[in-house]
Amino acid sequence: MRRTLALPLLITATLTTTACEKVEPITTAWSDDFERSELGSDWHNTGGPYRIDGGKLKIKGAYNKPLWLKRPIPRDAEISFDVRSDSPSGDIKVEVWGDGKTFATHRGSYLASSYVFIFGGWGNSISALCRLDEHGKDRKEKRGVKVQKGKTYRWVIRRKGSKVSWSIDGEPFLELDDTAPLEGKNHAHFGFNNWASDLTFDNLKIRPL
């Protein structure tokens, strides 16, 4: 009898603990400098080989399995970080205002839950600001600008109202005026993402606008 009751009691305790888990949203300036050895409890890894090395976040070969920030970010916010690609293919990618859990289940097509920002994608030939579908016809594109291997860039992504803007090293890069903005609890998370390139991220900052 004791053995029979043990499992239901364990399940009940686990569910109660999970239900009580509360993740505080970001309401003031927040940052992560990755000066530690583990990813930490603020992050949800959907299956990519993300790791921290020398105070920086490293990723290579995530194949569209993002590392999501668990804490919801403001609807109107500025997100900035340093990033470097050590691959000739460039291919730097992040997702913003996503659901905090979506990921690719195989190495194929992937419909995001967010705005997707890609610098030097498709063999370092196209950069794009995408709404949900990085292959969609409504994406904003820039061609002729390549990621320089080994160069550290400072990205700044902002949303205020319907306008989503992206600058690199202080220069405007791409912008989207979204008449049906991604918002609400299913569009409230930031995530680092990657396909196969060798990327290094650092000095993440998020602040409400």
Q: What CATH code is carried by the domain that includes residue 70?
A: 2.60.120.560
Interstrand relation of 126-131 and 140-143 (parallel, antiparallel or unpaired): antiparallel
Q: What is the DSSP string of 90-138?
A: --EEEEEEE-S----SSSS----SSEEEEEEHHHHTEEEEEES-TT-TT
Query: What's the confidence (pLDDT) of residue 134?
Result: 95
Query: What's the confidence (pLDDT) of residue 22?
Result: 83
Q: 202 lies in a domain?
A: yes
* Phi/psi at 123 (5° precision): 70, 30
Q: 102 lies in a domain?
A: yes
Q: 196 lies in a domain?
A: yes
* Phi/psi at 194 (5° precision): -170, 150
Q: 67 lies in a domain?
A: yes
Query: What's the confidence (pLDDT) of residue 21?
Result: 64
Per-10-residue mean pLDDT of the chain, 209 residues long, equals: 40 39 92 98 98 98 98 99 98 99 87 98 98 96 98 99 99 98 98 98 99
Q: 15 lies in a domain?
A: no
Report the SS3 class of residue 20: helix
Q: 167 lies in a domain?
A: yes
Supply the pTM of this predicted model.
0.90
Q: 45 lies in a domain?
A: yes
Domain region containing 121: 30-208
Q: 22 lies in a domain?
A: no
Q: What is the DSSP string of 43-82?
A: EEE-S---EEETTEEEEE--SS--EEESSPPPSSEEEEEE
Query: What's the confidence (pLDDT) of residue 102?
Result: 97
Q: How many domains, the chain?
A: 1
Query: What's the confidence (pLDDT) of residue 13?
Result: 38
Report the SS3 class of residue 181: coil
Query: What's the confidence (pLDDT) of residue 59?
Result: 99
Query: What's the confidence (pLDDT) of residue 38?
Result: 98
